[in-house]
Each structure stands twice: as structure tokens, then as C-alpha cells.
A and B are shown apart, each in its own frame.
Chain A
Amino acid sequence: GNSVTQMEGPVTLSEEAFLTINCTYTATGYPSLFWYVQYPGEGLQLLLKATKADDKGSNKGFEATYRKETTSFHLEKGSVQVSDSAVYFCALSDELGGYSTLTFGKGTMLLVSP
């Protein structure tokens, strides 16, 4: 079946550092790809998405490019802030016999210090 693999955390950075969180996927067909963020004690918020190969999703300074040749969707940000501290989940859409849902990676915790 489809699956998502993320780099293990925590990722610990100082404010204004460059961020990369790696994500690779295994899928049949052509799924859409997503990054979700989860702040402590909260549910999931969609951060960005890409629906086809070579698409770049971006939001709040975060970017990720759908790379079909390497089956990757790495999350990047040029300058992180303390408020970016959260858990980040990479996910893909599964189209399954008439309905669609999400398959998530295990999540990567990001800790940003002042």
C-alpha cells in the first residue's frame, strides 16, 4: 500500500536558521501531497499542498516541491521562528475505490530556540 516516510526528530534549530524536513513517499498512481502542522494540544492544520509533479506548494514562508522522479516532497523554510515550533506531518491522498483519504508519516518535531 501507499506509505510516507519522514526524517525522525526532533529537529533543533536556532531562530533564523534554514529548515529542511525530508519526506519521501511510496504510491501507486499520482497522489496529491501535503504538509500539515500540529501545535501542542491542537489538531492538524494544512500548511501547504501540491497536486501534481513539479508543483511547488508554499505558505507562511514554507515551501515544498513535488518531485516525482525522487518520490519526495521535502519541506523547507529559509528562516525559522520560535513560533514555528510544532510537529510537521507529510501526507499523501489515497484514492481508494470511490473515496479518498490521507496517509500520514509519523511526524517530525521542530524545536526552535531564540
Chain B
Amino acid sequence: ETGVTQSPTHLIKTRGQQVTLRCSSQSGHNTVSWYQQALGQGPQFIFQYYREEENGRGNFPPRFSGLQFPNYSSELNVNALELDDSALYLCASSSDGAGSSYNEQFFGPGTRLTVL
């Protein structure tokens, strides 16, 4: 069974640029959540996708957007990058995310984004 994978591992961008991060969910999982982990902080929830639709969103501006594909893999897009967007971006997959009680989330290794 393949776990959650993310690409790329590291990325360096400059202010104002756009970035796309990718996540492949664990086999059998239909829900993907994205988190931002700033240096020295705990992960913060960005949004969740369930069966290709945004299912919930944290306190992040609209320039953070996402997609989920029919195979349940997902992308996180960030437009107009700011210095404060520098962080580790974590993807987590789980099953049956909509209208159900908590199901364990399995995390990928993350993508380290540096904005200069």
C-alpha cells in the first residue's frame, strides 16, 4: 500500500510568483486536507477536498486555491506569493470526509516552500 506522497520536496520562489504543489493520496482515500506549517509552529488547516469539491476551508485568503482530481490526488495553488508564505506544506489523506465523524488523517512528508 502506497502512502501519501508530495512533490516537489523543496521549492524556491520569489515574491509575486505563483506556485503549484502536488499530493497523491493513500490508496482507498477520497479526502485530502492541506496544512501550512510555519517554522516553529504547528500545522494550520488550509482547506479540504472531498470527491473533487472543496469541503471546508480555514482562515486563508482566496489566493490559496486547490483542486482534486478523479483519482483523488490534489493540488495546492498559491498566487501572488508573499514572504510569509514560506513554510512546510503538508498534505493529509483520509476516507469519507464529508458529513462523517473524524477519520484518521495520514500525512505526507511535505513540501518546503521558500519565498525570497
Contact = CB atoms under 8 A, between A and B. Distances in A.
Interface of A: 4, 31-32, 36, 42-46, 49, 89, 91, 93-107
Nearest to A97: B56
Interface residues on B, range: 20 to 34
Interface in B40-54: 40-45, 48, 50
8 contacts: A4-B42, A43-B109, A45-B107, A46-B106, A93-B102, A105-B42, A106-B41, A106-B42
Interface of B: 4, 33, 35, 40-45, 48, 50, 55-56, 58, 90, 92, 97-110
Nearest to B108: A43
B42 A104 contact: yes
Contact of A100 (B101, B107, B110): B101
A101 B48 contact: yes
Contacts of B44: 104
A73 to B, nearest CB: 14
B interface SS class? loop
A106 B33 CA distance: 19
Contacts of B102: 31-32, 93, 95, 100
A46 B104 contact: yes
A101 B56 contact: yes
A96 B33 CA distance: 14
B92 to A, nearest CB: 8
Contacts of A45: 107
Nearest to A89: B42
A87 to B, nearest CB: 9
Contacts of A100: 97, 100-103
B48 to A, nearest CB: 6
A106 B40 contact: yes
A23 to B, nearest CB: 11
B56 A99 contact: yes
A9 to B, nearest CB: 10
A32 B102 CA distance: 8
B33 A101 contact: yes
Contacts of B105: 101-102
A103 B45 contact: yes
